[in-house]
A = this chain, B = another copy of it.
């Protein structure tokens, strides 16, 4: 940018202009061996960082994403109207304070926002992988993040934090790398996806795969299964909200009309809103990535290798702040309490907090003074050497 260009101004608390970077590893003949047993390479991870890494490299906070999150968690790209997906939480003076912490966020493997995924080109065939992309798991996501952290020269993360699928990665980090995570903050998550959540994921996948434009996954160069992906997002979106928040936000209000339409066009605001959400998602997300990432969530069961949650957490050394939301019915508070209990049975230091809110699962993404304050205080308290047993 020329020095004559007008300098863009950002609101207070913003990290300002940011760029996505790319970390390439496991170049051929090197390859990443995945949990499914298959090999994948080369692999790229898209990532962003905010704030400055301290000389001691002891202030890094790794932010982990939910299903559709990308590396762009905060600030603005040059062409952005809206900031990154967790800008409410990350910035100078915010919950994850970039004046104190060096924040890292990457797009997951299997994704479609710059990291290697099913829409990437398979170097062997020179064509997009499609369904020939191997199944990736939460553990694989964490493994690639670990390589990124190594690359950045960081031995110990001050904290790993994430909501929903991000929380699954938090748990996997704490289990896989107990010596490299000081604080673990799993938010609105679970140690193993419930049957109900698997069922909703399967409906979404069926909707995508039933769309003839999916073409068995080989839709590269075409518009792809837009209707199927929109339906998958619609059903997902309902599960991210609560009955209360939908009632408050929409109720039975009609869309642009005083009377029922008596037809199959949308009558209710909630129908219009869902269609809008579905269509907006299709513009920014790849249908095959939806299949892969939802499957990774379904497969997530931190207790599977050992047979119980309690045994899964043998050897963890991090301190934990477990957060759930009272109206989250996709990852209900009971599942967070179960996590906290299993951690305590391993003598982990655990704080568990349920935040009262009507916003459902999506509460972790929304502006919330309460969530920011709880996270900010915990990060600072624990950093300053505070020590406490969970409430």
Contact = CB atoms under 8 A, between A and B. Distances in A.
A230 B227 CA distance: 16
A179 interface: no
A267 B235 CA distance: 21
A329 B246 CA distance: 14
Contacts of A194: 243, 246-247
A88 interface: no
Nearest to A273: B199
A36 B261 CA distance: 9
Contact of A252 (B198, B203, B205): B198
- The binding surface of chain A is classed by DSSP as helix
A217 to B, nearest CB: 9
A385 B103 CA distance: 73
Contacts of A270: 195, 198-199, 202
Q: How large is the interface on A (under 10, 10 to 19, 20 to 34, 35 or more residues)?
A: 35 or more
A238 interface: yes
A46 interface: no
Contacts of A231: 203, 206-207, 210, 231
Given A243-B329, A264-B295, A267-B298, A252 B192 contact: yes
Nearest to A135: B262
A174 B247 CA distance: 26
Contact of A210 (B203, B205, B228, B274): B228
Given A195-B251, A243-B329, A332-B243, A203 B135 contact: no
B262 A36 contact: yes
A354 interface: no
Interface in A284-304: 291, 295, 298-299, 301
A135 B291 CA distance: 36
A165 interface: no
Number of copies: 2
A131 interface: yes
Nearest to A303: B252
Nearest to A292: B264
Contacts of A332: 243
A198 B243 CA distance: 11
Contact of A234 (B193, B195, B206): B206
A113 interface: no
Given A36-B262, A247-B194, A262-B135, A238 B199 contact: yes
A134 B263 CA distance: 8
Nearest to A234: B203
Contacts of A274: 199, 202-203
A44 to B, nearest CB: 22
A264 B205 CA distance: 9
19 contacts: A36-B260, A192-B252, A193-B252, A195-B247, A195-B251, A195-B270, A196-B238, A196-B243, A198-B271, A200-B235, A202-B266, A202-B270, A203-B231, A203-B234, A203-B235, A203-B238, A207-B231, A210-B228, A231-B231
